[in-house]
Amino acid sequence: MKAMMSHEPGGPETLKLTEAETPEPGPGQLRIAVKAAGVNFPDTLIIKDLYQFKPPRPFAPGGEVAGTVEAVGDGVEGFEAGDRVLSGGINGGFATHFIAEAARTHKIPDAMPFDEAASFMLTYGTSHYALKDRAKITEGDTLFILGAAGGVGAAAIELGKAFGAKVVAGVSSEDKAAFCKEIGADETLVYPRALDRDAQKALSGEIKKLCGGEGADIVYDAVGGDYAEPALRALAWEGRFLVVGFPAGIPKIPLNLTLLKSCEIVGVFWGAFTMRNPAKNADYVAELFRFYEEGKIRPHVTGVFPLEEAAKALEMLQDRKVMGKIVLTVE
């Protein structure tokens, strides 16, 4: 097989196209011939040894793939060679072949293209778990999203609308705002690239205004940094603040704000949830496929690169130039 391997910690430019022996699936596993691999922000961290997990090197980044089942390990039921599937893990996806746990693999609808399938589970799974399980979203809630044009943010827009919420999309540019409007956001807010205290106060006031005056019932924070505190200040009474990611840095939050608003700060670790509660996750996955088939959600693939150009794709992602999702394709 071929894979874009990380041999040493570093940026996207350190990845090397490497030939390796095609692996065999073990008990409970499948070998997937990869047709497309999703590119996600954690991929930019794991190659720098900045992610929660540090696989032994050399390894290929890539946490989600779509393709066809090529080989089935002992004890696996319900799959056979030729099945169209999506799957994922911590790493290994930027390759021509992927060893998947059968328990983390799902057959995909015949009408779902491989590029959409490879863009589906991580972003929609994260945002669905965040909104439904952690925030307990209900019809009529107001949802404010930081980083709304990115993969998980765009998924949160669509899912927020599917759950009956008013969605306000926070982004860093006018073109990203237009993209969010196109995929369903009710309102958009373009925030500055840098924030001093005055700008933070102004941002908080603008979020409240767009959310109807009382503030947001739910804040979905996929940005962090200096944007987290003004977003938290814009929460309504008993609001829920979802901690999703920190591309702008890990924020420090004055905890007195939680007392004043009687609000909650809630962590979102979808990957760990899928392992700790597979039965509930299976129900959530089934709902996501229903939403897809009903046309309520659909991955917005805005860039496609061959496997050999994985570094270019990761550079675009870490430079925040991506709207929606980008994927690698494998011939």
* Rounded-to-integer distance, Cα 215 and Cα 217, Å: 7
Q: Computed over its alpha carbons, how large is the radius of gyration of the chain?
A: 20
Give pLDDT < 70 ranges for the chain.
none
Cβ–Cβ under 8 Å, residues 142 and 212: yes
Phi, psi of 99 (to 5 degrees): -90, 115
> What is 79-105 written as a DSSP string?
--TT-EEEEE-SS--SBSEEEEEGGG-
The tens digit of pLDDT for each residue in 77-102 reads: 999 999 999 999 999 999 999 999 99
Model pLDDT, residue 168: 98
The two beta strands, 84-88 and 64-72, are antiparallel
Q: CA 110 → CA 67, 103, 298, 328, distances in Å? A: 12, 20, 15, 20
- For the chain, domain boundaries: 2-120+299-329, 123-271
Tell me the pTM: 0.92
CATH architecture classification, 123-271: 3-Layer(aba) Sandwich (3.40)
**pLDDT score of 331:** 81
Q: What is the model's pLDDT at position 83?
A: 98
Strand partners, 243: 221, 267
- pLDDT for 151 equals 92
Three-state SS for 202?
helix
Q: pLDDT for 29-50, tens place per residue?
A: 999 999 999 999 899 999 999 9
CATH superfamily of the domain spanning 2-120+299-329: Medium-chain alcohol dehydrogenases, catalytic domain (3.90.180.10)
pLDDT digits (tens, 9 = 90+) for 105-117: 999 999 999 999 9
Please tell me the predicted confidence (pLDDT) of residue 320. Answer: 82
**8 A C-beta contact, residue 323 and residue 27:** no
Residue-wise pLDDT for 290-327, tens only, equals: 999 999 999 999 999 999 999 999 999 988 888 999 99
